[in-house]
């Protein structure tokens, strides 16, 4: 009798411990974040790890959208949104294996999305591979009426017959859009102007740093200068990031200059995100911290870019940041 009673008391204690432990974790995951902790796991508001690598960002209304690579369960591109850049909500999978028959054995990297005011469509460009290696080296295009709804896959192709691997999109202030991608076995960085509907490459404009072996392009305009950040080509292993600047996107572009430390703080560039507040426009560097052995262990870093004068860009390490999207300040 005594033993039975002791048993049920210890059972209740165990249950209590379990409940308080799990509700503790739950409470923690539901807490509103007040900063981004660099180099740590990035979770969404449900506490689930964010899978949006090689990603791009787009502001729509009050929301920042983050769209990037997902490599789980046949999903290629996932979409999250946030009003403060710290608390992200998963919204949808935008591109999956089922989106198109040519995606059955595909690998999609570095998706980027821009909005076309004329056609009222969101246009996604990305790096497309078929099978396990990187020999297809194609660009691909998809579109959607709604940034939170599945995209229609249009095609994969080599722009002007060039190989096309790491890539990005850039939409200029006048609405002209550009696609940059690594060509000729990553030796050249190509710059293309897109057609008015952004669904095709209209013109091959320039070969940036021929033979320079650059990838992971991320472009932004600040004041009178365009900045283009890239990495070297060392697979999943990080290397020295570099940037160049130009007064016209068509060039001439400056020489490549080092930015950050010799491993770009153990990351590779994917995007430069402007935060336009009522006090200031600041710029965030977004980089992937790849885990080449286990892709799903890869994380992200968000670091403020600073500009000592109009054409110099600097990247320093900070453990955490608290962006204020109202003022544009980053603490
Ligand atoms: C570096 C690229 O930037 C990534 O997107 C990916 O293609 C890896 N190389 C693959 O090694």
Does residue 222 have its Cβ closer than 6 Å to ligand 1? no
Does residue 110 have its Cβ closer than 6 Å to ligand 1? yes
Q: How far does Cα 13 stand from its chain's mean position?
A: 46
> What is the number of the ligand 1 atom nearest to the C-alpha of 109?
5
293-331 pLDDT tens trace: 999 999 999 999 999 999 999 999 999 999 999 999 999
Question: What one-character DSSP code corresponds to residue 296?
Answer: G
Q: Which residue has the tokens 């472009």?
A: 219
Question: What one-character DSSP code corresponds to residue 2?
Answer: H
Q: What is the CA radius of gyration of the chain?
A: 22
| Per-residue model confidence as pLDDT tens for the chain (331 residues) | 455 555 665 666 555 555 555 444 444 446 899 999 998 889 999 999 999 999 999 999 999 999 999 999 999 999 999 999 999 999 999 999 999 999 999 999 999 999 999 999 999 999 999 988 999 999 999 999 999 999 999 999 999 999 999 999 999 999 999 999 999 999 999 999 999 999 999 999 999 999 999 999 999 999 999 999 999 999 999 999 999 999 999 999 999 999 999 999 999 999 999 999 999 999 999 999 999 999 999 999 999 999 999 999 999 999 999 999 999 999 9
Alpha carbon of 301 to those of 34, 275, 290: distances in Å? Answer: 16, 16, 11
How far, in Å, is the centroid of ligand 1 from the Cα of 98? 24
∠ Cα 174 178 182 (to 5°): 160
Mean pLDDT of the chain: 93
Q: Which two tokens stand for residue 219?
A: 């472009």
Taking CA atoms only, the protein residue closest to ligand 1 atom 3 is 216
Q: Which two tokens stand for residue 14?
A: 């165990």
Does residue 268 have its Cβ closer than 6 Å to ligand 1? yes
Per-domain residue ranges of the chain: 37-321
Q: What is the pTM of this model?
A: 0.91
Does residue 166 have its Cβ closer than 6 Å to ligand 1? yes
Q: Which CATH superfamily is domain 37-321 in?
A: Glycosyl hydrolase domain; family 43 (2.115.10.20)
């Amino acid at each position: 009798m005594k033993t039975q009673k002791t048993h049920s008391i210890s059972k209740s204690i165990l249950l209590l411990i379990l409940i308080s432990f799990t509700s503790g974790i739950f409470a923690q995951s539901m807490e509103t974040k007040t900063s981004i902790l660099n180099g740590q796991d990035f979770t969404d508001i449900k506490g689930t790890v964010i899978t949006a690598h090689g990603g791009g960002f787009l502001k729509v209304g009050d929301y920042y959208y983050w769209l990037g690579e997902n490599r789980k369960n046949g999903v290629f591109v996932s979409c999250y949104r946030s009003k403060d850049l710290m608390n992200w909500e998963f919204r949808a999978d935008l591109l999956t294996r089922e989106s198109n028959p040519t995606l059955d054995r595909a690998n999609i990297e570095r998706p980027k999305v821009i909005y076309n005011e004329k056609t009222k469509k969101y246009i996604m460009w990305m790096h497309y591979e078929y099978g396990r290696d990187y020999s297809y080296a194609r660009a691909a295009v998809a579109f959607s009426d709604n940034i939170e709804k599945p995209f229609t896959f249009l095609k994969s192709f080599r722009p002007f017959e060039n190989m096309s691997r790491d890539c990005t999109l850039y939409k200029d202030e006048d609405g002209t859009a550009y696609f940059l991608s690594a060509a000729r076995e990553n030796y050249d960085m190509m710059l293309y102007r897109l057609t008015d509907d952004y669904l095709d490459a209209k013109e091959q404009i320039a070969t940036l740093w021929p033979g320079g072996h650059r990838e992971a392009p991320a472009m932004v305009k600040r004041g009178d200068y365009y900045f283009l950040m890239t990495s070297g080509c060392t697979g999943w292993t990080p290397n020295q990031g570099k940037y160049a600047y130009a007064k016209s996107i068509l060039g001439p572009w400056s020489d490549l200059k080092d930015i950050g430390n010799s491993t770009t703080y153990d990351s590779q560039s994917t995007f430069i995100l402007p935060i336009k507040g009522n006090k200031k426009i600041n710029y965030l560097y977004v980089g992937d911290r790849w885990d080449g052995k286990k892709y799903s262990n890869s994380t992200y870093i968000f670091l403020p870019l600073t500009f000592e004068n109009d054409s110099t860009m600097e990247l320093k390490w900070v453990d955490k940041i608290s962006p204020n999207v109202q003022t544009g300040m980053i603490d």
